[in-house]
């Protein structure tokens, strides 16, 4: 099969299209014929060698993908050849999602409802899983509360907006471009702000009658954490999802409000938490509540271009690779 491989950590130029042997499933595993693979910012951190957990070289990048079952290993009864599925995690070291075929442990594979395209399916696992974990497992967000999605135009942000609106929250989302702000509004945010405008958080305080946001999902904490502390409500919860550097904060701002700051890494979710996340997401996908947004589709061989694009400002849903 054709697959993108990384033989040495580095810039996007290290992503190369190789011919590699087809994977075969062991007991409890399946092979998925990949029709679409999601590109996440984390794929770029791993590729550059700047990440807490690094695979052994060479490796096939990517985790999130969707396609059809090609072969099933011994003991797998949930799936048969041809079933439409999305993948939560491939068996990374051996086989990633940027390939024509991906090897997966069967529990990491879920049915893709007929109303959801393969590209949308490849946009589910990390973005929706992270947004769900942030909202429900970390912040314990409640209907009626106000949520700030600080960076709502990208993969995680759009997912968070849809999940929170369905949960009965008042949602304020931010984006840096007019196109991004329109997208956030189209997906149900009640108010949309421009995180490049100097006074946008003053506007948030006005919109909430000076209450602030009960929950904040933060996509760029090294820029925004102090601002989040300033606008979080009393008893509020800030969840750090994205961070690309350091920031000085004054913790005093959290004290009078009894506010909490949580870190989140999706891979820390226990298997039973992952199962509950995907039970919820499967339901939301099937009934149309969750509608992953595909902003750009590129051929697999253009993985390098996708890695450059995912780090640029002006996010618009997901970037997808098509094998
Ligand atoms: P993405 O699709 O590239 O979106 C990035 C988002 O950040 C966009 O909405 C972008 O808005 C926004 N942003 C840019 N500048 C901002 C600012 N000054 N203030 C607030 N938001 C700003 O990325 P993603 O997949 O949604 O992921 C978002 C972040 O979370 C990334 O850093 C990613 O690595 C991280 N992440 C972490 C986990 C975890 O387990 N902790 C899981 C998934 C993702 P504009 O482009 O409109 O300016």
Q: Which ligand 1 atom minimizes the distance to the CA of 310?
A: 3
Cα 48 to Cα 67: distance, rounded to the nearest angstrom: 27
For residue range 194-229, list pLDDT tens digits in order.
999 999 999 999 999 999 999 999 999 999 999 999
Q: What is the mean pLDDT of the chain?
A: 97
For the record, the structure tokens of 280 come out as 């919820």
Pocket test for ligand 1, best of 154, 159, 230 (most atoms within 8 A of CB): 154
- What's the CA-to-centroid distance between 150 and ligand 1, angstroms? 8
In this prediction, residue 207 carries a pLDDT of 98
Question: How confident is the model at residue 94, as a pLDDT?
Answer: 63
- Its pTM stands at 0.98
Share of the chain above pLDDT 70, in %: 99
Strands 294-299 and 318-322: parallel
The stretch 134-152 carries a mean pLDDT of 98
pLDDT score at 249:
98
Which residue, by CA, sits nearest to atom 21 of ligand 1?
151
Range in 91-95, 105-109, 196-200, 316-320 with the lowest mean pLDDT: 91-95
Q: Is the pLDDT of residue 39 over 70?
A: yes
Residues forming beta bridges with residue 2, ordered by sequence position: 19
Which domains, from first to last, does the chain contain? 2-124+292-322 (3.90.180.10), 126-267 (3.40.50.720)
Tens of pLDDT, residues 53-102: 899 999 999 999 999 999 999 999 999 999 999 999 998 656 799 999 99
Q: What is the residue whose two structure tokens read 């759009």? A: 158
Two structure tokens written together for 195: 């995180």
Strand arrangement of the beta sheet that strand 232-240 belongs to: 191-194, 170-175, 146-150, 213-218, 232-240, 260-263
Length of the chain counted residue by residue: 323
Contacts of 102 (CB under 8 A, 6+ apart): 23, 31, 32, 34, 65, 67, 87, 90, 95, 96
Q: What is the pLDDT of residue 93?
A: 59
What average pLDDT score do residues 106-115 get? Answer: 96
Q: Which residue has the tokens 């009864």?
A: 77
């Amino acid at each position: 099969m054709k697959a993108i491989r990384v033989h040495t950590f580095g810039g996007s130029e290290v992503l190369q299209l190789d011919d590699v042997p087809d994977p075969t499933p062991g007991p409890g595993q399946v092979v998925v014929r990949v029709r679409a693979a999601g590109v996440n910012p984390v794929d770029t951190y791993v590729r550059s060698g700047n990440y807490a957990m690094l695979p052994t070289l060479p490796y096939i990048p990517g985790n999130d993908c969707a396609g059809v079952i090609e072969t099933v290993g011994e003991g797998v009864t949930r799936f048969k050849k041809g079933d439409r599925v999305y993948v939560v995690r491939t068996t990374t070291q051996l086989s990633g999602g940027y390939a024509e075929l991906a090897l997966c442990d069967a529990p990491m594979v879920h049915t893709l409802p007929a109303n959801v395209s393969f590209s949308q399916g490849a946009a589910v696992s990390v973005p929706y899983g992270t947004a769900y974990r942030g909202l429900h497992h970390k912040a314990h967000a409640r209907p009626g509360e106000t949520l700030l999605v600080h960076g709502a135009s990208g993969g995680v942000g759009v997912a968070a907006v849809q999940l929170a609106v369905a949960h009965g929250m008042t949602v304020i989302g931010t984006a840096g471009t007019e196109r991004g702000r329109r997208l956030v509004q189209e997906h149900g945010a009640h108010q949309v702000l421009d995180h490049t405008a100097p006074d946008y958080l003053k506007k948030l305080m006005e919109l909430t009658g000076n209450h602030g946001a009960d929950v904040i999902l933060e996509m760029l904490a090294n820029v925004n954490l102090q601002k989040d502390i300033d606008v979080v409500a009393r008893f509020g919860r800030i969840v750090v999802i994205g961070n690309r550097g350091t920031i000085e904060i004054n913790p005093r701002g959290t004290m009078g409000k009894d506010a909490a700051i949580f870190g989140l890494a999706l891979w820390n979710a226990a298997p039973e938490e992952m199962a509950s996340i995907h039970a919820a997401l499967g339901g939301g996908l099937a009934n149309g509540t969750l509608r992953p947004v595909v902003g750009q589709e590129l051929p697999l061989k253009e993985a390098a271009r996708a890695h450059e694009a995912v780090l640029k400002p002006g996010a618009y849903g997901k970037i997808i690779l098509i094998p």
